[in-house]
Amino acid sequence: MTCSRRDFLKEAVSTTAASVLPLGAFVFLSTEEAKAAVADSEARYAFLIDTNKCVGCGMCVKACKNENEVPYDAPVTRMWVERYIFTKDGKLHIDSPMGGRDGFTDNEVYGEDIDPDDIAKAFFVPKGCNHCDNPPCVQVCPVGATYQTKEGVVLVDRDWCMGCAYCIMACPFGARYFHPVEKVADKCTFCYHRISKGLQPACVQSCAFGARRIANLKDPDDPATKIITTERVAVLKDLYGTKPHAFYLGLDHDVR
Amino acid sequence: MKWHVLHPLWVTIAVIGLIIFGGRLLVPDDFGVHGRNFTYGYHRLGSIQDWKDFSVKYQGRDACVQCHEENVQLNNVSVHSAIQCENCHGPAVNHPGGVQSLTVDTSRELCLRCHAQLGYPNSNRGAMPGIEDRRHRRRRECSTCHDPHSPKERSE
């Protein structure tokens, strides 16, 4: 193959142009913009959940659904309460009918009536979004519709979400669901509209037993933060490396 | 270079250019890195305000006491003082504006959420005063005999 100098230059220029043009898709930030973008906030919110105190009344689930306009009779919840019953024959029974919305008023688990005398131990564990420090649900969003705020709250942009449900599959905690009315991915917002006004999240406020609490980890005088930093707390599924920010007291090793 | 080689190249460049140009046109201006890094903080800034503007439904005890002082004070000294008014009375939303009166849930099921005896000795549920639903005053509303604001048995 022969190649004249003219052809060589033409090809070189067009190839360079073709390979450089797509770089226009990248957004370059100036130093100031980058610094402003990663500016620190005065808050980092976390949940403190005491499973010793929870009685399984489900008022938190009811309050959450009402507060956040989650369809009440649809089998979807932003947060839910699980019941763990260990019977003396070594079996473990776990249920959460309607996410525990109507509380637990009998010992029937999936149609099986459990005799109270057979119970070795039983307790309730409220669960929901852990507002992870490394949220996998945010990483997988192909359109940038879900993100972490400076306070560590993971939110969904309802105007931008296209409902592909990648994030619902990515969450190891099952904390996300597809909103049947809004047709977008939905999840716990830490009641962002409430905490930004100085109120407590609906689930925290409705809990009569103090089983659910909110902590600002950047405020060392916060009573819930003191418990997290000075007492023995556990998180769910820490092996996933998502750094969950819902801290539990009294967790059992069979709670996943 | 030959036409059949260059033609697809120009088409590809045109498509990429169109995507970039269209993206600039359609993506809102406030889209950018607003969090701690690109991976977790790339989003539309207006979305934060959208969530802040979401309406508050549960106003809390402090809002109730402004008008219903008598009931709140009766409740304050009872064992039910930790329970939010709205847990039974329903979310206030913008009451008394809008809804004149809230619907009170006086159902047996509401009380049973805490007071159905399940027999869980190592949970706080076991420490709750409870009844056996099948044995205790079946089909009666609890509030017939107990005052939910201050739940000792009502005197006749």
- Tell me the domains of chain A and their CATH numbers: 136-186 (3.30.70.20)
Q: How far is B125 from chain A (nearest CA, A)?
A: 4
Whether B46 and B73 map to the same domain: the answer is: no
pLDDT at B156 over 50: no
Residue A64: its chain B contacts at CB < 8 A?
A: none
CA distance B66 to chain A (A): 17
pLDDT of residue A36: 64
Structure tokens at A150: 């400076």
Q: Is the same domain home to B93 and B128?
A: yes
* Structural domain includes residue B156: no
Please name the helix (run of DSSP H) or strand (run of DSSP E) that holds residue B10, with its range, or none.
Answer: helix B3-26
**B109 and B40 together in one domain:** no
Res A39: pLDDT = 61
Give the residue from chain A lying closest to B23, CA to CA: A25
Cβ-Cβ contacts under 8 Å between A and B: the total is 190
**Is residue B17 within 8 angstroms of chain A, CB to CB?**
yes
CB–CB contact B58 A10 (8 Å): no
Considering the domain boundaries, does residue B21 fall inside one?
Answer: yes
Q: Is residue B154 scored above 70 in pLDDT?
A: no
CB-based contacts of A67, cutoff 8 Å, min separation 6: A191, A194, A202, B56, B57, B58, B91
Is residue B154 a part of any domain in this protein? no
Between B19, B40, B124, which is nearest A138 by CB? Answer: B40
What pLDDT shows up at residue B22? 93
Provide the residue range defining the domain that includes B13.
Answer: 3-52
Distance from CA of B46 to the nearest CA of A (A): 9
Could A102 and B109 be called an inter-chain contact, meaning their C-beta atoms sit closer than 8 Å? yes
B80 and B11, same domain (yes or no): no
Burial class (CB in 10 A: 0-12, 13-18, 19+), B86: buried
Report the alpha-carbon angle A96-A99-A104, nearest 5. Answer: 55
Alpha carbon distance B33, B31 (integer Å)? 7
Task: Indicate whether B75 belongs to any domain.
Answer: yes
Residues of B in contact with A210 (CB under 8 A): 82
- B21 and B46 fall within a common domain: yes
Supply the pLDDT for residue B122.
85
My answer on whether B66 and B31 are in the same domain is: no
Q: Read off the pLDDT of each residue in B79-86 and give the average, rounded to a whole number.
A: 93
Q: Specify whether B79 is located in the same domain as B18.
A: no
| Number of folded domains that form chain B | 2
Domain check: are B65 and B48 in the same one? no
Give chain B's mean pLDDT: 89
Q: What is the pLDDT of residues A86-140, one digit of tens each?
A: 999 999 999 999 999 999 999 999 999 999 999 999 999 999 999 999 999 999 9
Hey, is the C-beta of B43 within 8 angstroms of any chain A C-beta? yes
Which of B37, B108, B114, B136 to substitute to test the interface with A, most A CBs within 10 Å? B114
From the number of C-beta atoms within 10 Å of its C-beta (0-12, 13-18, 19+), residue A218 rates as: middle
The pair of three-digit structure tokens given for residue B100, joined into one six-digit string: 């004149």
Is there a single domain that holds both residue B65 and residue B42? no
- Shared domain for B14 and B85, answered yes or no, is no
pLDDT above 70: percentage of residues in chain B: 97
- pLDDT > 50? residue B109: yes
Q: Is B45 exposed, middle or buried (0-12, 13-18, 19+ CB in 10 A)?
A: middle
Instruction: Note whether B76 contacts A: Cβ–Cβ < 8 A.
Output: no
Nearest chain A residue to B39 by CA distance is A139
Tell me: pLDDT of B76 over 60: yes
| Cβ-count burial A9-46 (b if 16+ within 10 Å, e if not) | eeeeeeeeeeeeeeeeeeeeeeeeeeeebeeeeebbbb
Spatial neighbors of A44 by CB under 8 A, at least 6 apart, are A151, A152, A216, A217, A218, A245
Of the ranges A2-6, A135-139, B9-13, B32-36, the best mean pLDDT one: A135-139
Determine, yes or no, domain membership for B41. yes
DSSP states of B90-138 as a string? ---TTTTSS-SSPPP---HHHHHHHHB----TTSHHHHS--B-TTTSST
Which among A38, A117, A211 is the nearest to B36, CB-wise? A38
Whether the pTM exceeds 0.90: the reply is: no
pLDDT in tens, chain A (256 residues): 678 899 999 999 998 988 887 777 676 777 777 666 656 778 999 999 999 999 999 999 999 999 999 999 999 999 999 999 999 999 999 999 999 999 999 999 999 999 999 999 999 999 999 999 999 999 999 999 999 999 999 999 999 999 999 999 999 999 999 999 999 999 999 999 999 999 999 999 999 999 999 999 999 999 999 999 999 999 999 999 999 999 999 999 889 8
B67 & B100 share domain: yes
Q: B65 and B134: one domain?
A: yes
Q: A interface mutation test: which of B24, B29, B51, B80 has the most A CBs within 10 A?
A: B51
Domain contains B42: yes
Q: Is residue B65 part of a domain?
A: yes
- Cβ of B123 under 8 Å from any chain A Cβ? yes
In this complex, the residue of B41, B43, B53 whose CB is nearest that of residue A157 is: B43
The answer to whether B22 faces chain A, any CB pair under 8 Å, is no
Residue in B with minimal Cα distance to A125: B123
Is B151 contained in some domain? no
- In this structure, are residues A206 and B60 in contact, taking their beta carbons and an 8 Å threshold? no
> What region does A152 belong to: left with phi over 0, alpha with psi -120 to 50, or beta?
left
